Structure 1
Amino acid sequence: MNSVMETPLSDRSRKTGLRLKRKRSRTLAMTASYLVLTAGALIILIPFFWMLSTSLKEKVDVYKFPPEWIPSPAQWHNFPDALTTFPFPLYTFNTAIIVFFVLIGTLLSCSLASFGFARLSAPGRDFIFMLLLATMMLPYAVTMVPLYILFNKLGWINTFLPLIVPSWFGNAFYIFLMRQFFMSIPRELEESARIDGCSTFMIWLRILVPLTRPVMVTVGVFTFMATWNDFMTPLIYLTDESKRTLALALSYFQGSARSSPELHLLMAATIYAVAPCLILYFTCQRIFVKGIVFTGVKG
């Protein structure tokens, strides 16, 4: 009788022990993963910490060795000093105007093109889509000279048009991302809308666009950061000082004629230029990650 009673108890204790071991191993694996990720993040953030530290130092303290990571006292006046060296408010306004119109053009053109590739049937649709993806293999250096000749013939040099107009004709990578997201939406929604009398355009506008918020935010963040930090395109097309962008201003700040490079002011101006990108990313982080994940659900 005792042996019969002991068998279920011993089995239960064995199962409990196995569960505890699995829980401990999962906890250890999770802890190790967090430690590795934290260490990697700290290593990656070292240049940012150095930039922030340098922006709060005096000029003579920048070249100290070993470097001071926490300046004492912090020179907060470096930020207004840096921003008054050049007309940074004007450069910020120029950059914001370009980013605004590029964002609208990219979201509209890429959304309409990806909707056509994902939902509409036409002869050669898949071939055209593959041809579009093939353009991603063309480096910018190949198209730079022909584009410059074209915009020069149109009289657009030293205007914002060469920086804005191309975004209204789509971007292969963003079209691909949006197409993948459109294909993950059930077709039953579209069919129900057609039964209710919706046109193709209204299906895109009222049914699919509201559902594609994650991928719209993803493309918007990518576009904002690429345009805000763009250096090469404004350097090629903008010659007037009053039309410079922030990226160009930082370059001229670094190369301006001085007795010696004022890195503390340069780092303060750089933090000012980088801050909108950081704020945007942390504000849209959840939706941004969700958009990246769902663009590969169906394809």
Structure 2
Amino acid sequence: MPKAKKPKWWIYHILVGGFAILMLYPVIWLLMSSFKPSDTIFVTAQSLIPDPFILSNFAQGWEGIGGNSFGVFIKNTVVLVIITMIGQVISSAVIAFGFARLSFFGKSFWFALMMVTLMLPYEVVMIPQYIIFSKLGWLDSIKPIAVPAYFGHPFFIFLLVQFIRTIPRELDEAATIDGCGTFKIFYKIILPLIRPALATVSIFSFYWTWDNLLGPVLYLNSPDKYTVSMALNMFLSNETVSNWGAMFAMSIVTLIPVFVIFFLFQRHVVEGISTSGLKG
């Protein structure tokens, strides 16, 4: 490396390293706090390093709430994530294929209408949806959260539409000459080529469902059906002393799958998003 560029190189890495530490500090503080007694976590003079260093927060947090261990909440969340993720990926891919490749009456209007729904806050449709699901008898179950996932997600549809448009139509025409119908073109040609975008959709669906609190709070009433986000919220109390140590400990446990998924599939996220804006 030329000597003239060395100072710039060091300045760049110092700045990037400083910003990385700044961004990671809340996670580091959360991790260190999970090993502290609850009554010392928010003491101003308390250092970042736990003193004393305890592991009882993890044991207390894993005991759970209402006679259900934290493993029950993790199991409930995993089931909900898998069901929702499958529904959003499949339905969004099918709808995106229709918008990107098929011609039908009012196609532009329906696509624009779908995009408008991205601007609607969830609070706008929350009450109507709750009334509908209440009349269907779906309350206190995961149906109100999982079933809508099988009707597509606007953001995922838009992402996949942009990705499919990068695929040359000549491949569809060649498949049609070979005798492939619409479904076979989708299954044999389009799906294998949009794997990066499907991976991106799957990861985002996992993150958003795993962290979702408002949906489970609205529709789940039985403690044995709670998700991890609800369980973490139950460690806080307005009437008694909040068990911050146990909550932070279980927060670390629930962050493990998020970090694992990110580091394993971050390449697919970048590839899926970066190529979705291209147009072939």
TM more than 0.5: yes
1:130 alignment partner in structure 2: 112
1:72 to partner: Cα distance:
4.8
The 3 A distance-change label for structure 1 pair 145 and 59 is: closer
Per-residue CA deviation, residues 57-112 of structure 1 (Å, 9 max, x unaligned), is 23444244333222256323422221114321111111111111101100011000
2:161 alignment partner in structure 1: 179
Percent identity between the two aligned chains: 37
For the Cα contact (< 8 Å) 2:140–2:222, is it kept in 1? yes
Pick from 258, 267, 272 the counterpart of residue 291 of structure 1: 272
Per-residue CA deviation, residues 123-152 of structure 1 (Å, 9 max, x unaligned), is 221221111101111111110010001001
Pick from 9, 34, 46 the counterpart of residue 55 of structure 1: 34
What letter corresponds to residue 120 of structure 2 in structure 1? L
Structure 1 residue 35 corresponds to structure 2 residue 14: yes
TM-score under structure 2 length normalisation = 0.92
1:100 alignment partner in structure 2: 82
1:20 to partner: Cα distance:
5.5
- 1: CA distance, partners of 2:227 / 2:99: 35
1:199 to partner: Cα distance:
1.5
Per-residue CA deviation, residues 235-292 of structure 1 (Å, 9 max, x unaligned), is 011111111111111111122864x333221100111122211111111011111111
Structure 1 residue 269 corresponds to structure 2 residue 253: no
The 3 A distance-change label for structure 1 pair 256 and 250 is: farther
For the Cα contact (< 8 Å) 2:37–2:54, is it kept in 1? yes
- 1: CA distance, partners of 2:38 / 2:231: 21
Structure 1 residue 81 corresponds to structure 2 residue 60: yes
The 3 A distance-change label for structure 1 pair 33 and 204 is: farther
- CA RMSD, aligned part only? 2.0
Q: Secondary structure at the match of 2:235?
A: helix
What letter corresponds to residue 158 of structure 2 in structure 1? F
- 2: CA distance, partners of 1:262 / 1:34: 40
- 2: CA distance, partners of 1:249 / 1:256: 15
Paired residues in the alignment total 277
Q: Which structure has the larger Rg over C-alpha atoms?
A: 1
Aligned counterparts, 1:233-272, within 5 A? 233-255=215-237, 258=240, 260-272=241-253
Structure 2 unaligned blocks of 5 or more: none
- 2: CA distance, partners of 1:229 / 1:161: 17
Structure 1 residue 119 corresponds to structure 2 residue 101: yes
What letter corresponds to residue 126 of structure 1 in structure 2? S
1:188 to partner: Cα distance:
2.1
1:28 to partner: Cα distance:
4.9
TM-score under structure 1 length normalisation = 0.86
2:181 alignment partner in structure 1: 199
Pick from 131, 144, 147 the counterpart of residue 129 of structure 2: 147
- 1: CA distance, partners of 2:17 / 2:144: 42
- 2: CA distance, partners of 1:64 / 1:294: 48
1:29 to partner: Cα distance:
4.6
- 1: CA distance, partners of 2:7 / 2:200: 34
Structure 1 runs of 4+ off > 6 angstroms?
none
Structure 1 unaligned blocks of 5 or more: 1-18
- 1: CA distance, partners of 2:25 / 2:111: 42
- 2: CA distance, partners of 1:33 / 1:147: 50
1:45 alignment partner in structure 2: 24
